[in-house]
Amino acid sequence: MPWTSTDQPAVGRPQLAALLLAPTLILGVFTADLIEPTDNVSICFAYTLPILLGVYLGPGSTFRLAAAATLASLVGSFIRPPEGGIAVSFVANRVIAVTAQWLVAFLVEQRRRNFAIVEAHLADERRAAETGRRFVQILTHEIATALTSIDGQGYRLTKLAPAIEPNEIVARAGKIRDAAARLQGLVARIRLAAEVGRGEIELHREALDARALLGPLAADHEGVRLILDIRQPEPALFGDRDLIYQAVANLVGNAVKYSPAPADIRITVAPSTVMAGTEIAVADQGSGIAPEELARVFEPYYRAGNSVGIPGIGVGLHLVRHFAEAHDGRVTLESRLGVGTTVRLHLPEPPP
């Protein structure tokens, strides 16, 4: 027997059949109720049959069918009352039948709710399993890449040890340290993502000068055309200095990775368009994100289809979203393939 777990009834042949059959059955039982003797107990309980068809319809449909069945049952009682007056047995039969109708409706709806809860838990487990799979896949790739670099440079140093020049030792040692730094950064981002997932973010809110806080981002990305546009009086921001800087740094880092060099990036600090407060918008002219992937880009370890060959583990936007929510703010994203992406970090205004 099919059950629906969504807020909207499933569309299909079973639903269409139930929509047509339920009122027909109620009308049929009502007609039989008028024809059969008034003491026919079977007719009283036959009104429960159309209610069972509610399993094919949307939430609450069984209660509506029970109401229709009860109304028909009561109307039938008045149209054709028992000969010789209404007896106690007649009233008892009708009351028991009506009670049975609503009991059946309640049990069906309860079963539907329980099924919806189970389906929701299964969906959560599937998402968790998918997240774990993506995490292992990305982790093994990033670690393998770094270890390959370390092993290759170490092998070259060993092989060339008798005749290697000091400047080459420095260069190869620098490459080994770069690979080690990538591993350290990977571990740090994974640890931070885990802390965020457990809700272990501590905020130290303060009024912040946007230009002083975000201005150094340009120096962190040499060769990038970065424009900082402040449209709010200073101090323009209110929140945790480190988290806001890291959130915007993540957005700028993404913009740089997915934009052709030299990247054109604009950071705009202006009144929020969705809440009372300020928004920090980071806009690029990069590759953009496909429409069907926009709903998933904030999931941990999720990477868009056009990110193949671009370093990253897929936690940047996930962290930004949690940083915003820790401030009681939110993040919005707009993107078009081949045109670019704009991510807006919305922060609430400071308390009076």
Higher pLDDT, 59 or 12: 59
pLDDT given for residue 4 in this prediction: 38
Split at pLDDT 50, 70, 90, the class of 38 is low
Which own/partner contact pairs does 108-116 have at CB distance under 8 Å and 24+ positions apart? 108/51, 108/52, 108/54, 108/55, 108/62, 109/54, 109/59, 109/60, 109/62, 109/63, 111/3, 111/55, 112/3, 112/4, 112/5, 112/55, 112/59, 113/59, 115/3, 115/5, 116/5, 116/6
Most confident of 51-55, 157-161, 263-267: 263-267
Q: What average pLDDT score do residues 176-181 get?
A: 72
pLDDT given for residue 17 in this prediction: 75
∠ CA(19), CA(25), CA(31), 5° rounding?
A: 140
Cα–Cα distance measured from residue 122 to residue 119, given in angstroms and rounded to the nearest whole number:
5
User: Is residue 144 scored above 60 in pLDDT?
Assistant: yes
As a residue count, the chain comes to 352
pLDDT given for residue 6 in this prediction: 39
**C-alpha Rg value of the chain to the nearest Å:** 33
Q: What average pLDDT score do residues 212-218 get?
A: 83
Task: Pull the structure tokens for residue 326.
Answer: 């820790």
Higher pLDDT, 228 or 125: 228
Distance of CA 122 to CAs 74, 126, 127, Å?
43, 6, 9
Higher pLDDT, 308 or 75: 75
For 352, other C-beta atoms within 10 Å of its C-beta total 3
Cα–Cα distance measured from residue 319 to residue 232, given in angstroms and rounded to the nearest whole number:
25
Percent of the chain with pLDDT over 90: 1
pLDDT given for residue 173 in this prediction: 76
pLDDT given for residue 294 in this prediction: 81
Do strands 330-336 and 340-348 pair parallel, antiparallel, or not at all (unpaired)?
Answer: antiparallel
Cα–Cα distance measured from residue 341 to residue 335, given in angstroms and rounded to the nearest whole number:
4
- Phi and psi at 206, nearest 5°, equal -160, 160
User: Is residue 1 scored above 60 in pLDDT?
Assistant: no
Q: What average pLDDT score do residues 109-138 get?
A: 72
pLDDT given for residue 5 in this prediction: 38
Q: What average pLDDT score do residues 124-136 get?
A: 64
User: Is residue 303 scored above 60 in pLDDT?
Assistant: yes
Higher pLDDT, 137 or 203: 203
Most confident of 177-191, 253-267, 277-291: 277-291
**Taken in order 209, 214, 219, 225, is the CA torsion positive or negative?**
negative
Q: What average pLDDT score do residues 209-236 get?
A: 82
pLDDT given for residue 346 in this prediction: 92
Task: Give the torsion through C-alpha atoms of 340, 341, 342, 345, to 10 deg.
Answer: -160
Cα–Cα distance measured from residue 293 to residue 256, given in angstroms and rounded to the nearest whole number:
20
User: Is residue 345 scored above 80 in pLDDT?
Assistant: yes
What are the b/e assignments for 271-306, b being 16+ CB within 10 Å?
ebeeeebbbbbbbbbbbbbeeebeeebbbbbbbbeb
User: Is residue 39 scored above 70 in pLDDT?
Assistant: no
pLDDT digits 0-9 by tens, 231-267: 888 888 888 888 888 888 888 888 888 787 787 888 8
| Residue listed under structure tokens 């099924």 | 115
Q: What type of residue is 319?
A: L
pLDDT digits 0-9 by tens, 186-206: 566 566 655 555 555 677 788
Distance of CA 49 to CAs 3, 34, 80, Å?
17, 17, 22
User: Is residue 275 scored above 80 in pLDDT?
Assistant: yes
Task: Pull the structure tokens for residue 352.
Answer: 């009076």
Task: Pull the structure tokens for residue 44.
Answer: 């009283």
pLDDT given for residue 8 in this prediction: 45
| DSSP of 242-295 | HHHHHHHHHHHHHHHHTSPSSPEEEEEEEE-SSSSEEEEEEEE-S----GGGGG
Backbone conformation region of residue 60, classed left if phi is above 0, alpha if psi is from -120 to 50, else beta: left
Q: What is the pTM of this model?
A: 0.52
Average pLDDT, the chain: 75
Q: What average pLDDT score do residues 126-137 get?
A: 62
In this structure, are residues 309 and 183 in contact, taking their beta carbons and an 8 Å threshold? no
Which of 43-47, 66-70, 153-157, 211-215 has the weakest average pLDDT?
Answer: 153-157
Cα–Cα distance measured from residue 240 to residue 228, given in angstroms and rounded to the nearest whole number:
20
Task: Pull the structure tokens for residue 263.
Answer: 């990247």
pLDDT given for residue 142 in this prediction: 58
Residue closest to 300 by CA, chosen among 286, 284, 317: 317
